Amino acid sequence: MSSRLWDVAMLPDLTHGRTHSGPVRERRPVYVDLLPPCNAGCPAGENIQAWLSHTLAGRHEQAWRELVTNNPLPAIHGRVCYHPCESVCNRANLDSAVSIHSVERFLGDLALEKGWQFDPPAVRSGKRVLVIGAGPSGLSAAYHLARLGHEVEIRDAGAEPGGMMRYGIPAYRLPRDVLSAELARITALGVEMTGQHKVDDLAAEKQEGGFDAVFVAVGAHLSRRVEIPARDTGPMLDAVSFLRSVASGERPSIGRRVAVYGGGNTAMDAARVAKRLGADEAMIVYRRTREQMPAHSEEAEDAEREGVRINWLRTIKEMDGSEMQVEVMELDESGFPQPTGRFETLSADTVILALGQETDTEFLHRVPGVEFEKDGTVKVSPSMETGCAGVFAGGDMVPSERTVTVGVGHGKKAARHIDRWLSGADGATAAKHDLAAFDRLHLWYFGDNARRQQPELAPEERVADFDEVVGGLSADEAVYEAGRCLSCGNCFECDGCLGSCPEDAVIKLGVGNRYRFNYDRCTGCGACFEQCPVHAIEMVAEAN
């Protein structure tokens, strides 16, 4: 672009076609909306920036209603989501990321306290959809389908709904009253839930129930097994069954010393639960390094804070009574662990295997057209549809990261495609806006503001029982934290453009309506663009 913004000439006005003498504008400012990194990074597709803005303004119910447009479980997500939105937050480059999850939890808890309910659908479609699985993905799909006007029934093999949120995530991370309250709001929307109902014949269930479409999200509830040579060994449990039994109210006898074999989030939870059941020693044995573990780093840090010892680069080779022969591993040039022939002896009264989970998809092998990946997960199209028309799938049973938030995102996406499939509508989706990257912001506007921290129980208090470890923010703290949002890529009406324009070409339209440019007065100098802190203004070339 020329270093000159405009040239002096006698030419027609580029906007209105009238002739005048004076400078000719070569470029003009336009208001734009870019995609904030937090929104782009949210697997549930939340419009995070929008509900943070409502929270900041004190419109808490409006913030919650904006949030649940995409995610029906904010009180749950505010506790168990690993908040990938925060890992891409532009504010982290300034001081620290906005504590998005804690504001989400505040809104979710406030909604439960106030008894806010979902808005019912405006119209009913007359269509029926069967959802198999009452975990996060199935619940999300059912919610979105119900709000779109469809009649939905969830059928699940468990006694109570929630899937791994109820039977896999311990109560110290997700209190069961919070889980039940958010699920009750979905049933209040009209979703029917049938428990202790394992689906074996999908075609028969679909036909007998008069369902027009099916969404399958059975989750990964089967533990992977490994053969460990053993002589006269103590109890050897799988982590999923162990966590399920504890979540169901049982208190299994595990002895004084417990070893957990694995390095995922389930392994961390199993070790932390063992401490709460009275184990004096709880250790994790994992064959790779901390950097390579599949568990989120905060899970490992919490486990260690509570006294769990993690043995990195170790693998169990043999069990003999309460003794384990553990081989030391070393990483090769490619970063893969290799045996060294060096052994250590560790002691454990109980060994818990946490080596990954699989889905029970045997019933889908009898459905024509459904195909599977090599790892046993179900192949789906970009619309979440399997090879069988009208049968969609999501959550842990399809190739993806296995988290609550990913599952909820799958459910929403599938619901929208099921709705289009039922109506015969075009499945095309709108293109996303450009990303509001950090280097596009003009950060002179923002000062340093420390992130508000959630209260936590002391480590010695945590392991005494299953009380919730992390507390929530107060209303004032939540509003403060929402105010740390940089509003990346979207105008938040700071009046900077209005005050910087030397030609009074910016017209303020009133609170909530932003501004517009008077191009009769605008010279294209770019002052508004240069000062806009959030890059909500672009300079574009004038048309020839």
Q: What is the pLDDT of residue 223?
A: 67
Q: What is the pLDDT of residue 6?
A: 29
Angle at 74 between CA 222 and CA 381, to 5 degrees: 55
Whether 8 has a pLDDT exceeding 50, the answer reads no
Q: What is the pLDDT of residue 235?
A: 80
Question: Do 322 and 347 form a contact (C-beta atoms < 8 A)?
Answer: yes
pLDDT per residue as tens digits for the range 203-219: 999 999 999 999 999 98
Is the CATH number 3.30.70.20 carried by domain 6-33+491-541?
A: yes
- The reply to whether domains 128-221+359-423 and 227-355 share a CATH topology is yes
Q: What is the rounded average pLDDT of the residues 240-253?
A: 93
What backbone torsions phi and psi does residue 333 show, to the nearest 5 degrees? -65, -25
Question: According to CATH, what is the number of the domain 227-355?
Answer: 3.50.50.60
Question: Do 214 and 130 form a contact (C-beta atoms < 8 A)?
Answer: yes
Mean pLDDT for the chain? 90
Is the CATH number 3.40.50.880 carried by domain 37-116+441-482?
A: no
Distances (CA, A) of 274 to 68, 109, 397, 462, 468: 35, 29, 28, 12, 16
Neighbour-count burial of 173, counting CB atoms closer than 10 A to its CB (0-12 exposed, 13-18 middle, 19+ buried): middle
Q: What is the pLDDT of residue 76?
A: 98
Of the pLDDT bands very low, low, confident and very high (cuts 50, 70, 90), residue 19 is very low
Counting DSSP H helices and E strands in the chain, the numbers are 18, 22
Q: What is the pLDDT of residue 5?
A: 30
Indicate the pTM of the whole model.
Answer: 0.89
Task: Enumerate the domain spans of the chain.
Answer: 6-33+491-541, 37-116+441-482, 128-221+359-423, 227-355
Whether 75 has a pLDDT exceeding 60, the answer reads yes
Only one residue has tokens 């945590």, namely 462
The residues near 513 (Cβ < 8 Å, ≥ 6 apart) are none
Q: What is the rounded average pLDDT of the residues 451-462?
A: 93
Question: What are the structure tokens assigned to 387, written together?
Answer: 């090879």
Best-predicted range by mean pLDDT (22-26, 352-356, 400-404, 452-456): 452-456
How many Cβ atoms from other residues are within 10 Å of residue 56's Cβ?
Answer: 20
Of the pLDDT bands very low, low, confident and very high (cuts 50, 70, 90), residue 14 is very low
Q: What is the pLDDT of residue 13?
A: 37
Q: What is the pLDDT of residue 425?
A: 81
| Amino acid occupying residue 377 | T
Of the pLDDT bands very low, low, confident and very high (cuts 50, 70, 90), residue 384 is very high
Q: What is the pLDDT of residue 449?
A: 85
Whether 11 has a pLDDT exceeding 50, the answer reads no
Q: What is the pLDDT of residue 15?
A: 37
**CA dihedral of 416, 428, 513, 88, whole degrees rounded to 10:** 80
Cα dihedral 529, 530, 533, 534 sign: positive
Q: Which residue has the higher pLDDT, 402 or 43?
A: 43
Comparing 215-224, 479-488, 500-509, 513-522, the range with the smallest average pLDDT is 215-224
The CATH classification of domain 128-221+359-423, taken from the options 3.50.50.60, 3.40.50.800, 3.40.50.300, 3.40.1280.10: 3.50.50.60
Question: Do 257 and 235 form a contact (C-beta atoms < 8 A)?
Answer: no
Of the pLDDT bands very low, low, confident and very high (cuts 50, 70, 90), residue 16 is very low
Q: What is the pLDDT of residue 400?
A: 86
Q: Which residue has the higher pLDDT, 106 or 429?
A: 106
Of the pLDDT bands very low, low, confident and very high (cuts 50, 70, 90), residue 23 is low
Q: What is the pLDDT of residue 442?
A: 87
381 conformational bin, left if phi > 0, alpha if psi -120 to 50, beta if neither = beta
